[in-house]
Amino acid sequence: MHIVASVIVQGVLPPLTDAHTIMLRLATRLGARAHSFNAGARAVAVRSGVRTCGPTAAPALPPTYGALSRNAVRLFAAASGGRVDLKKVQSLASTLDSSEKAVTQYLKVYKQSATRRFGVLKVGGGVLQNEMDDLCESVAQLVQVGLIPIIVHGAGPQLNHSLKEHGIVSSYVNGLRVTTPEILSIARKVFQAENLKAVKALEAYGVRARPIQSGVYEVELFDNGSLGRVGTVTSVNMEAVNEALDAGCVPVLTCMGQTNDGQFLNVNADTAAQTLAVAAQPMKVVYISANGGILDHNREVIQSIDVNYDFEHLLQQLQHGDRRKLLEIKELMTQLPRNSTVSITSASDLARELLTHSLSGTLITNKERLLKFHSFDEVDEERLLLLLEQAFGAPLVPNYIDAIRDKVHTILVSENYLACAVITNEVGYPYLSKFAVSQSVQMEGLGARLWKEIAEDIPTMMWRSRKVNPVNRWYFQRSTGSATVGDWTVFWYGLEDYAAALEPIKKILALPKDVARPPPPPPKPEYGTRRTSKVQTAWCNVGLLGARGHTGGHLIRLIENHPDMRLAVAASRAMAGRPVSDVVEGVSTDMLFSNPSPDEVRDLDTEVDLWFLAMPDKQADIYLPSIGESTPVIDLSADHRFDNKWVYGLPEIDPGRRQEIRMSDRIANPGCYATGMMTSLRPLLAAPNKRMRSIIAGTPSAFGVSGYSGAGTTPSAKNDPERLADNLMAYSLQGHTHEREVSHQLHELCDTFNVLRFTPHVASFFQGIHLTIHAELKTAMSREDVLHRYRVFYEKEKLIEVQSDIPEVVSIVNKPNVVIGGFGIDSTGKRLVITTVIDNLMKGAAVQAMQNANLVMGLEEYQAIIKEPSNLV
């Protein structure tokens, strides 16, 4: 039993504050160590007329949303017409007694995988029989936010009942049923009936579901037929499963397999789910259990298990069924990616276990080792600071480590610096100064593993957290007392009563802030204030000089799809007089191409609010004198990329660049190759806050291959499909403009970077760029370290995707983002190879120009670029 008494009092601690109400929450764990908890601690209690309450829920915070992987977008589109409404997230968060931000955070993690499915759900026959409504409601909650599980179900109780009705008595070998031909015939009918029942029940809850009763498991006789018609799985065919997922349907599978000659064999449901999981490689595998998790010797749910740390001693404590289950799960996890996790929970708590910080089942993980230190001497301070600043979303104060260097109690850090805890001696009890888990591994159990290590090693501890922190729910479950004063909540465990906490609370509240959160930025200029239409229209009138080319066509499509822009001028000398819709596919405007002279451009400028110059190099200056100095210009040529009077328009390479673009009237749009190369190299250079030092040694090099659209529309050998057929053509072997551009811009950002070497090629495909970049590193790094560095650097960038796999050009065509991947490291740890793909006409030109135009006009940055409205996750 866990008793929680939350008492609201005033004036109890006058030395702390006279102005604030202090909320004390006192909890006592009876008959066990203070840090051992039950999820039931959140219960609201009223005892003896004293007002008691649970922890106050954190206020809803604005959701965070980012660029989704292709598979996640596909899955979203299939699940809910391409969009997940924020209102659904808010509604679900309320239903699950969680915060909107917490649910959103879990969704972001589940959608990061570019190659794997979300989850495999194993459902026993008892759940179908007794908890169908709870199961369907939980699955519906997942599907409404775009998460589509694969369900594998058994039907053991139903089969037993049917056999009893038919008067058939089963025989067993070592506790396993022998499946005779007669039993198999009945089993097939039972499994089919339960499968259709589950599908109909899901559809009654608004979930599109698809029954899959055969064709997935190829089997052979188990143990030479010692169990009769029982099969062991030899291979899994995912085709029908994937088709269901791509159609937005939940696949519902029976556990029946077929041999090569078409003979049906019964397959154990757990085995069926595990072999399917190995084939699907999901982020989550979930077992629905009537117990709600694995039970300890006190019949209480064990909240987390790490197979590397907890396995041996747990086997001695568990009941036979749970022991066998844990052995099977450990074997399964050796065949899944390291960051995959397994949960065992109840049907009613499924969504709560997967989407909230609540402790609603058993989470089983396979995590990296935790390292323990008692000083900073053996800690990589740079990597520790990088982790902390990424986790807190802001830089730490410059002297954070120096200020606590001689006060260290314990430092715990995972071997790849993905999680850490810094505990000091400065308040009378061990004080948790910092606790952080990288966003790349959140919800995978590493934080729980870290906390368990702390709790086992440190019997008493205190810490503080902003009272609006959504993680506080998690902290409340792990504390035995807390006091909320002003903006802070102070937590503790291991203290006998709140009187022992009074003096330490004073010291904790007096500690200086150690996160240097910047002051709120000035309000972002909004359309209609920063930039008002010259002719008082409700939209921005756009002029496009150079509308005939490939980039011009993409810009016209972006403008037509923009809610706050209208095309006012489409200039092309070659197409003058022709309808734009005849030349540019997919647009409906009735405008004609024109060919204005510089003087005519001066007249047009009185009605144009923004100009795009999409002309060849050395043409922009013909028209620029005709455009007013206060009229924003986005120049897509290379003419002004080396001119410091123009702002270089690549927002992702410098935190302050967006504001520079907003406040400027002259923007030099980056080159296509240059965008790919700069975004590929930027995380290896010093970060603006100097916490991340440059690690490039020597001169990096890039091998680039572009589609022939990059050579423009003027006929040449470089855009002649016949010449390029089955061919690869190198050009500009020395001094390519983009080589000089990257070298110049990166040196401006980091003076230790001097030059890049680049060799471009053109190939027979039309659109897209592939870059292979080589860099020597100053110090040896693991592949995981480099990948983590990139993910941290681009964590909040919607148009830059970092993935582990090698990206391909075909995956980026007509997409608005850059994809960086590969991350090959040689045996010395110092030679890095990165592969990057970008659409030269999109993020390499038109999309980048539109992104800059949105910023300079005070509009939402990704309007017309990311099609989902900004209120969608």
Kindly list the catalytic residues. Answer: 672
First-to-last C-alpha distance (Å) of the chain: 39
Instruction: Provide the 8-state DSSP code for 281.
Output: -
CA pseudo-torsion sign 800, 806, 809, 812: negative
Gyration radius of the chain over CA positions: 31
Instruction: Choose among 237, 239, 255: nearest CA to 247.
Output: 239
> Among the residues of 319-471, which ranges form H helices?
320-333, 350-355, 381-392, 400-404, 446-457
CA–CA dist 215, 243 (Å, integer)? 13
Instruction: Choose among 616, 479, 484, 483: nearest CA to 548.
Output: 616
Helices 156-165 and 181-204: angle between axes, nearest 10 degrees: 130
CA distances from 567 to 385, 588, 869 (A): 48, 12, 21
CA–CA dist 227, 213 (Å, integer)? 22
Contact 364, 284 (CB under 8 A): no
Entry field: residues in the chain: 873
Contact 277, 332 (CB under 8 A): yes
CA distances from 626 to 631, 732, 853 (A): 11, 33, 20
What 3-state class would DSSP assign to 354? helix
- DSSP-derived pairing of the beta strands 633-635 and 370-373: unpaired
Instruction: Provide the 8-state DSSP code for 515.
Output: B
CA distances from 30 to 1, 35, 522, 606 (A): 7, 11, 52, 78
**In the chain, how many H helices and how many E strands?**
27, 36
DSSP assignment of 215-275: SSEEEEEGGGGTTBSBEEEEEE--HHHHHHHHTT-EEEE-SEEE-TT--EEE--HHHHHHH
Beta-bridge partner residues of 153: 123
